[in-house]
Homo-oligomer: A and B are copies of this chain.
Amino acid sequence: MKILKDEDLCPAAVMRGAIDALETAFRAKAAGEMVSPPRHHVSFPKRGDIVFTVGGIDGERPLAGFRAYETFNGGQHSQVVAVWRADTAELQGVILGERLGQIRTGAIGGVAIRHLSAPTARTVGIVGSGAQARTQLIAAAAVRDISSARVFSRNPGNCATFAEEMQLQLGIAVEPVTSAARAVADADIVLCATSSDMPVIDASELKAGVHINTIGPKTLKGHELGLDVADMAGIIATDSPEQTRAYASPFFLSGTIHEKRMIDLAAIVAGLAAGRTSPLDTTLFCSVGLTGTEVIVASAIFDTI
């Protein structure tokens, strides 16, 4: 049984295995072999909630587990993720902290990039310089032969640190730039991982054939990308159509012509729906964080660490 904390998890080292494991999980989802029930909340008066997400897949190597996190007031939050082998009842291990969630979201983005971006994609434009921006770029580099990236963030210090760290970690040129438009201009892949409630780029700044991952806010009340980007996209996909319909504030594409054409990433991975069909297709992936996927990624990490 393994017990891992944030300091034990190197996103770049585990990303490829996490992406591969999630592909298997998305295929299981398409085949109806994934268990991914709605979140379960327990309230503690005046304090907040403990929230449980549960997930598992059946098949040759069935897994089951959960993630638990709290919404109490406090500075440091630690999630608890546990995974069992469902065929032997063996507790594979437990992961504590915040990093697994970032790796998970990165790996979901990696699956989307593998199945939607142009196979020849070489350049990445990033808006945002936080933990999610890092794991998205690591995921892009795990599935495409990335040669260079440009990053923009409102905070020039964070932007420079991001560029320096990522350049070192991934061995590619990463250039900090002074506007979002400059970051995404000519990029084959665009990664938006901000906390912005207002669109950070215009569709006109993107090149035809680009693939975009949007990680940040995506509700009607606030969204880091506008409808113009959705209008431009030939394909719009998400990891959980179910969850886009269950947001407390409606999803930013609700009530638009785009709502019905959103495709489940699982269907694309399983070959049940078409992804990109030409180099000029613009593709948009809306990352919502499919419930239960932390369990899949944690299991993949236990297998390799």
Q: Within 8 Å of chain B (Cβ to Cβ): is A52? A: yes
> Interface residue count for A (Cβ, 8 Å)?
43
A80-B82 in contact given A56-B44, A64-B70, A66-B68 (Cβ < 8 Å): yes
Specify which chain B residues have a CB less than 8 angstroms from the CB of A42 in the assembled complex. Answer: 35, 37, 40, 54, 66
A42 to B87, CA, bound (A): 16
Indicate how many identical chains form the complex: 2
Binds B, one of A89-97, A243-251, A269-277: A89-97
Tell me, rounded to whole Å, the shortest Cβ–Cβ distance linking A163 to chain B. 32
B58 with A46: CB separation less than 8 A: yes
B48 with A86: CB separation less than 8 A: yes
A65 with B50: CB separation less than 8 A: yes
Q: List 6 A-B contacts (CB under 8 A).
A: A42-B66, A46-B58, A47-B86, A50-B54, A70-B84, A74-B85
* Chain A residues near B (Cβ < 8 Å): 1, 3, 5, 35, 37, 40, 42-48, 50, 52, 54, 56, 58, 62, 64-66, 68, 70, 72-78, 80, 82, 84-91, 94, 96
